[in-house]
Amino acid sequence: MTKLLIATRNPGKAREYEELLADLPLDVTWLDAEGIEEEVEETGATFEENAILKATTYARLSGLLTWADDSGLAVDALQGWPGVASARHAGPNATDEDRIDILLARLQNVPPDERGAAFHCVVAIATPDGEVMTAQAATRGVILDAPRGAGGFGYDPVFYVPELGRTYAEMTSEEKHAISHRGKAARRARRLLAQWL
C-alpha cells in the first residue's frame, strides 16, 4: 500500500477523496492526521498554480506522494468572482454560511436566468522529488437565491444543477461524485496516479 497525503485540513474534502480513491491500493491520510502544521499560502493566480504549489510543498515536507487540489466557484454575473478566493474572500474565520451570505448579497439584484456559474477543480499529484501531474474539470450550474439541502460543504447548498433538479447539497455522495467538478477531476487524476502505483 502506498501512503497518499491529501493536502487538506477540510474533513469533508478528505472524506470525498477517500471515497473516490477507495479501490486503489492506497493508505489515504491528510494533513492533520500526519501532524503537519505548516500552511502553504495560496499565492497562485489560477487554480492550477495553487494546486501545484500545495502538492509540491507538502510532498517535500512529508516525504509522501501528495494529492492537492484547488477548486472554487466562478459566477458569470460577477466576472468569475470569487474564483481562486472562494474559500478566503470572507476572512480566515468565516464559515461556509458567511461565504454563502456574501455571495447571495452580491447577487441580490441578478435575475435567475443570469445566475450561471461553474465549479472548477484542478488536482495536482506530486512526488517528494518534485514530479507533478495535473488534471482538471468543471461543472456548470446556477446559483439559487437561498440554500437548499443539508449535505456537502462550501457553496454546495446554493449550487443548483438543472439537469438533476437538485443542489450539490441535496445529492447523495454517489450522485455528487458522478457529476461534480471534484469527482470528474479526481477520476482523471486517478488514471494519472495509477502510473505511479
- Reduced to 3 states (helix: H, G, I; strand: E, B; else coil), residue 166 is strand
Instruction: Report which of 197, 196, 172, 194 is spatially closest to residue 183, judged by C-alpha positions.
Output: 172
The whole-angstrom separation of Cα 98 and Cα 154 is: 10
Q: Is 179 exposed, middle or buried (0-12, 13-18, 19+ CB in 10 A)?
A: middle
User: Which of 23, 27, 32, 70 does the annotation list as catalytic?
Assistant: 70
| Residue the block writes with cell 501545484 | 52
Residue 96 among the catalytic residues: no
What does the block give as the cell for 144? 439559487
> Strand pairing partners for 138?
120
Other CB atoms within a 10 A radius of the CB of residue 30 amount to 21
Rounded-to-integer distance, Cα 35 and Cα 37, Å? 6
DSSP 13-56: HHHHHHHHTTTSSEEEEETGGGT---------SSHHHHHHHHHH
Q: Which residues are catalytic?
A: 70
